[in-house]
Amino acid sequence: MSRKLGPHETYAATRSKFGSYSNVFVSARLKEAASSEAVAYAVSRLIANEPILGVTIKGDKPGEFVMHKLNCDDYEISDFLDIKTFSDKQVAEAQSDLHYVRFDLTKTHWRVYVLDHGREILFLYDHTLLDGMAGSFACRQLVRYIEEYQQAKGSDIVQIQVSEKELPPPVEKQLTVSAPVSRLVKELANEYLFSKPETSLPPQVLPWTGYYGVIDMTAEQTSAFLKMCKANSISGGAGLYALMVCASSKVLHDKYPDAVEKPVGGSIPWNARKFTPGQDPERLGMVVGESLFENPVPKPADVEFGSGGVVPSGFLEVAKVYQAQIKKDGVSTWFSGYPFMHIIGLIPFVNLEDYFSSHTNSYQRHGMYSLSNLTALETSPSIERLRFSQCTGATCPFIQFSTVGIKGGPISISVAVAEDDSIVPKIEEYVEKFLSQLK
């Protein structure tokens, strides 16, 4: 069984083959370590039950990419599972190395890694066929299969068996797409007719370099943070976005003042399945849209806590901008049936190979921030916390937060900064200080 890649998948596959983007991961920290046998069983069950995980991508250029179900005789479980490389590492220690892993899409597009001697199960994947929500679903399914094995319901005989289910159709056949012409024209004009003033931010380059960090909020800190957001009439997502902006305020004003003297570009990916009638929001696939907006970067003096734990004025200012845009786009999205997937609207009008080539040769970086937020997720009791991280890549915003939370449990934040190694420590320092002020 095979099918051609849809426009969004084609865009991501071209980006992957070009080398301007590598991967994403979602990991589960377990309360008790899993054995290698249990993880191997879980991986085999995942392949057998999820058709999109049992495919390869063939084709020489955009428009010719086709996914095929893989030939089981050509694969072993070790092609999808690595229990040794990072076995004695924590996520924070392995994060950078993991994001430099590049998948050969003609062979595999994902792999499971075992970290910290079985305490952390990590699902690493290329972004071509799977988005963030899909990755979190796959990771949590792995844990369920591990539990199945531990309860003596699984077999020790592990083999590659591809799902007999049909391959899911590309997103464009799942949605009622009515591209907003004004958005399409605006994006094309911005891309090809107008240019933004150049700043001193590091340009987009190939090969790219990313710098990463992990911030694990405790359950108590998470509760206090969400309580603070509610008290100020902002969502948790708005609060996390504002936290990212405020945490980077001082270092950006010190190093790149010309880049933050005016409002900067921000983006928030949407899980478009939430806007698709009859679709499971957690099914595997690539269904992403995004909101685009501009927000100020408050002065350092405006992001410091006041006496008595008064929330910084700059924090609330940014959160309100985020929340207003999300509210506006949410209404427009529901009305149009089009989840702000402007990339899909643009794809027919651009040569993707030329696009990525021209955008990775010291190309100006025109996005400052991005927040990818996996909201409070239902998980197995055996999961202590989840973590979620994206590579920076060569065509990306300068600073990214990838956040994930367990419903009723802790939030974890992954920080990614492109081409500048001085910023992640400053962000981590501010976030820890911010959280310590909450009651």
Joined together, the tokens standing for residue 418 give: 């492109």
Let me know whether 299 and 351 are in one domain: yes
**What mean pLDDT comes out for the span 279-308?**
80
Determine the structural domain holding residue 72 and report its residue range. Answer: 2-171
Q: What is the mean pLDDT of the chain?
A: 88
Let me know whether 119 and 41 are in one domain: yes
pLDDT per position as a tens digit, 352-383: 888 888 888 888 887 899 999 997 888 999 99
Let me know whether 146 and 190 are in one domain: no
Q: Is the pLDDT of residue 337 over 60?
A: no
Let me know whether 133 and 246 are in one domain: no
Domain boundary among 114, 145, 171: 171
**Distance, first Cα to last Cα, the chain:** 56
Number of structural domains the chain divides into: 2
CATH number at residue 250: 3.30.559.30
Let me know whether 16 and 69 are in one domain: yes
CB-based contact 27:386 (threshold 8 Å): yes
Q: CA-CA distances (angstroms) from residue 192 to 274, 346, 376, 417? A: 32, 12, 39, 27
Let me know whether 159 and 221 are in one domain: no
pLDDT per position as a tens digit, 241-250: 999 999 999 9
Q: Is the pLDDT of residue 265 over 60?
A: yes
**What mean pLDDT comes out for the span 416-423?**
98
The helix/strand/coil state of 220 is: helix
CATH number at residue 12: 3.30.559.10
Q: How many whole angstroms from its chain centre is CA 100?
A: 15
Distance CA 26, CA 18 (A): 23
Helices marked H in 154-288? 181-192, 219-231, 236-255
Domain boundary among 124, 144, 171: 171
Let me know whether 293 and 409 are in one domain: yes
Let me know whether 135 and 92 are in one domain: yes
Which residues 6+ apart lie within 8 Å of 177 measured at CB? 337, 338, 341, 344
pLDDT at 168: 82
Let me know whether 325 and 415 are in one domain: yes
pLDDT at 288: 64
Let me know whether 207 and 255 are in one domain: yes
Let me know whether 110 and 198 are in one domain: no
Q: Is the pLDDT of residue 255 over 90?
A: yes
At 122, which helix (H) or strand (E)? Answer: strand 120-125
pLDDT per position as a tens digit, 44-96: 999 999 999 999 999 999 989 999 999 999 999 999 999 999 999 999 999 99
CA angle 234, 320, 239 (to 5 degrees): 45
**pTM over the 0.75 mark:** yes
- When mean pLDDT is compared across 71-80, 111-120, 321-330, the lowest value belongs to 321-330
Let me know whether 256 and 225 are in one domain: yes
Domain boundary among 171, 190, 222: 171
